Structure 1
Amino acid sequence: MTNPFIPVPSRGSLSKAVESQIESAIRARTFVPGAKLPSELELCQQFQVSRTAVREALQMLSARGLVSIEKGKGIFVCNVSAETVTDPISLYLQLQYEHDSSLDVIHARQIIEPPIAASAALYHTKEDADRLVKDFEDLVKNQGDYTELSHLDMRFHLDIAKASENTLIPLILEPIHRLMPQIKSSVYENVKDAKESAVKWHKKILDAILRRDAEGARVAMIKHLEIAEQHVEQTLKRTEKSGTSKKTTSVKS
């Protein structure tokens, strides 16, 4: 293979320039997943920089999940998984998330999920259908463990995204859905008929998907998320009242 790299200019961050060139080569598939990169010494010679600059660049690429540094073996291009993409976004959202942002999460889902349900109705496979049926059955069987219930709820929605047979959709939706167990656990704990409502509307969505009724699935998802919004609003009001009550009690004591 001819040398794909060029010497980096002496101005600016040398390690950043090295990182950028290696990333560009990976994006261009000059080095495919599993391929071995030149050694540190060879990279130093090709970029005409110090070993320190090369090591810093490789550490940054490794932290981003693009390369794997295996001691005694070499430097290899990683197979980029969905988690490599979604984990940083999910972490950002979780760090930025505040309790008052619950409605923002629901509103985002109201925009995104109805057309996804319609696509799932049109394009799902038998394996998708079997998975959705199991998700629904597991939700029904749950006996009041709020945390587990919220995870089962979100699993159903993520599997609908996968059933759309569009590989980008789960990547977009998963970081948002990772916030939902925290929100849904609180909803299930504070809203008496929340599980009953989830079972009812999941069944309507599932039935529409299984009979390949795209419009029916879309409308059912819209109504389901409208009710979810109402439940979040009720939960926020109750937790606000509870917080106010605790503050009043504390002042009196």
Structure 2
Amino acid sequence: MPCPQAFVGSGPRDAGSLKGQLVGGGRARTVERDCPGRDTVGPVRKSRLSEGVVDAIRRMIADEGFAPGDKFYSENKLTTQLQVSRSSLREAIRILEVTGMLSVRHGKGIFVEAPSIRPQDGFLDWLKRNDQSLQEHFEVRLIIEPQVARLAALAATPDEIDALADNHERFARNSLLGRTTETIDCDREFHTRLAKATHNKMLYALIKSLATSLFDDWISSFHTPGRMDKTVFEHGQILEAIRNRDAEAAMDSMTTHLRNAIREISGTSSP
């Protein structure tokens, strides 16, 4: 497979070489990236897919000489090069956008950003731009998910409760080890497993859809200082209520969990 073409700066890409136009100092100059043999970043392994896509993009930026302000590859180019789905790619790009490594400019493409001296700064900037949509996301979840927890406490089978417990253990372990995408995946899985345990197909389909479309909720929780530790504890409270078949406690624990999350996430963006 030929080495991917580099797209540098704001000028057009030469389709026949690794050349691009770098605009600086009032005039354009042509630069050419070395191709380090065969592809430096190939297909992402299917296991730990989201984490692999994030790592692969980071390596692309470093190994292929992208600088702050450079336009990065298109989604189409990245899905072909990494051989991943568009949804997995977009989740990875969103994670890198939250951490300040990339920015997505609507109608223009994906751009490399200058790394912040303080990693939290990138998240704070992103949070200020997205605070209203996050508030709306959590409003929807507060309407639906406490009832999901209540119904799961009444309807979950022993095997489903065991699966929730296994998820909670993996969630705590990944959070402790700082595995970003694996922790986010476990968090989303907990909520979708709860919905499945209601044995209401419509609720399950709805929560699965929310878990995909409201990905920002999970990213923001991970990057809010102290929130993941609290989420581990709060998931434990929900799980305990379901084990005890205490529907009211499960509903109340889920409500508390979601309210705590949005309050602390929003508080992070306050001066």
Whole-angstrom distance in 2 between the partners of 1:186 and 1:202: 17
Give the Cα separation in 2 of the matches to 1:185 and 1:145.
12
Aligned residue type for 1:134: D
Aligned AA (1:185): I
Q: Is 1:162 the equivalent of 2:196?
A: yes
- 1:224 is displaced (CA, Å) by 0.4
1:195 match: 228
Aligned to 2:259: 226
| 1:179 partner letter | S
State how 1:98-117 maps to structure 2 within 5 Å: 99=130, 100-117=132-149
The one-letter code matched in structure 2 to 1:109 is R
Tell me the equivalent position of 2:159.
Answer: 127
Aligned length: 143
Alignment partners' CA distance in 2, 1:181 and 1:150? 9
SS in 1 for 2:150: helix
SS in structure 1 at match of 2:225: coil
What is the CA distance between 1:130 and its match in structure 2?
1.2
Distance in 1 between residues matched to 2:253 and 2:232, nearest whole Å: 12
Q: Given the two structures, how large is their TM-score scaled by the length of structure 1?
A: 0.53
Q: CA deviation at 1:175?
A: 1.5
The alpha-carbon deviation at position 183 of structure 1 amounts to 3.0
Unaligned runs of 5+ in 1: 1-86, 88-93, 242-253
1:180 shift after superposition: 3.9
Rounded to whole Å, the distance in 1 between the matches of 2:195 and 2:139 is: 17
Q: Select the residue among 191, 207, 215 that pairs with 1:173.
A: 207
CA distance in 1, matches of 2:213, 2:180: 15
Tell me, yes or no, if structure 1 residue 205 matches structure 2 residue 205: no
Q: Could you say which residue in structure 2 is the equivalent of 1:146?
A: 180
CA distance in 2, matches of 1:181, 1:172: 14
- How far off is 1:204 after superposition? 0.4
How far apart are 1:216 and its partner, in Å? 0.6
Is contact 1:154-1:180 (8 Å) kept?
no
Q: Which has the higher helix share?
A: 1
Match status 1:216 vs 2:249: yes
Q: In 1, are the aligned partners of 2:221 and 2:228 still within 8 Å (CA)?
A: no
Deviations 1:115-172 (A, max 9, x none): 1101100010112111101110011111112222111111001100000111111111
Task: Note if contact 2:137-2:217 (Cα within 8 Å) is conserved in structure 1.
Answer: no
Quote the offset at 1:232 in angstroms: 2.6
Structure 2 residue runs without a partner (length 5+): 1-86, 88-93, 95-105, 107-128
Partners of 1:222 and 1:208 lie apart in 2 by: 13
AA paired with 2:228?
A: K
**1:22 — aligned with what?**
none
1:206 counterpart SS class: helix
Percent identity, please: 29
